[in-house]
Amino acid sequence: MALVALTDDLRRQLDGGGSGLLILLDLSAAFDMVDHDLLDHRLADVGIQGIARNWLCSFISGWGQRVALGREMSSRHSLVCGVPQGAILSPMLFNIFMHPLAQIIRSFGLGCHQYADDTQLYLLMDGHTDSPPDILTRCLEAVAGWFRGSQLKLNPSKTEVLWLGRDGMGMRDQLPSLAGAQLVPLPSVKSLGVILDASLSMEAQVTATAKATFFHLRRIKQLVPYLSRPDLATVIHATVISRLDYCNSLYAGLPLKLSQKLQRVQNAAARLLTGSLPWEHIHPVLFKLHWLPVEYRVRFKVLLLTFKGLHGLGPSYLRDRLSWYAPRRASRSINNNTLVVPGPEEVRLASTRARAFSTLAPAWWNALPHETRALQDLISFRRACKTELFRLAFGLEPI
């Protein structure tokens, strides 16, 4: 969801002739550096008091560590910082600890999305610019100061920068420094496991995904004689299909040559699972497995995100990109649960309309049957949406 919102903002900015700067902050040993006293204060700042606060403080306090070398054991050393990695509560506690950072970044007019210890800040600039504005320098100084005050260690050597717009590499020597290190724009960056380039083409991400999934398929092929059909299906879903589905909402509107790369992976996985021959048509195989083709899996994910945004099951930054259609004059369409699709005056480029969430999601939502759009329950919507997309993918008659 964070990446959907980020890429939507960047695509809309580029569509309007502007440019953008994306900075991916990297922290060293982030979960191990959370100061317990500071965390206690931030729990209070977000309204956690009384028994709940005491219980959380007791959870993070009293931890210790030792060093073992052969039969020798060091004395116990009490820990005054860090949240236990692997504990269910730790990501939530870390998010509370990091909460003030987003407020600082947004106070300078920059966008910000956080996911655990990954912080993405981005600056949207109108028109052509030869250098980043001074506000970026002030924002980065404030960010570095906040990390120092919070006793977290920035890793500027691993912080990545992506310039989106014209003359991107001309900014190489004009970006400000962060924690004493000069920021340098790169041709591509990896954000939350997804490779983004300056044109948001997703070509590098698709190529990397196809390469990794075909590697796993070759390894799985060696296990086929030893696995039952259900076990083989589990392995394929865990190592191949899960990679195809990861953040696949970003694949909406891909050029045919890129979408075919991903479809070839799914086809190979389906043939391996069913034992079908290479020259057999793949559609009956996918139909038998009840697998939606890649193109429709992407559409399914976008529609799920749309439903969650509209019904308060997702973050507000997704809901804010969607608007219910309200006709000026009373008509039957007022109860059709349709969304406003931005017109050519708002979105100039066809590529933006085909790929940006704020323009594509309303169009796909409005194309659903009225009965599906009217559903209020997520499970019912998933079932009805998949049934409709399955019908479209395989040319079935409406029920």
Domains of the chain (ranges, CATH numbers): 1-32+89-197 (3.30.70), 203-286 (no CATH), 296-394 (no CATH)
Question: Could you give the C-alpha distances from 303 to 132, 232, 299, 321, 330, in angstroms and in order?
Answer: 36, 29, 6, 14, 27
Confidence of residue 331 (pLDDT cuts 50, 70, 90): low
* DSSP run (H or E) holding 342: none
**Of 242, 318, 310, residue with least CA distance to 4:** 318
* pLDDT value of position 399: 53
- pLDDT of amino acid 327: 76
Per-residue pLDDT tens over the stretch 362-388: 999 999 999 999 999 999 999 999 999
- Burial of residue 20 (CB within 10 Å: 0-12, 13-18, 19+) is buried
Decide if pLDDT at 332 tops 60: no
pLDDT at 300 over 90: yes
pLDDT of residue 251: 96
Distance CA 341, CA 318 (A): 15
In this predicted structure, the answer to whether residue 38 has a pLDDT above a threshold of 90 is yes
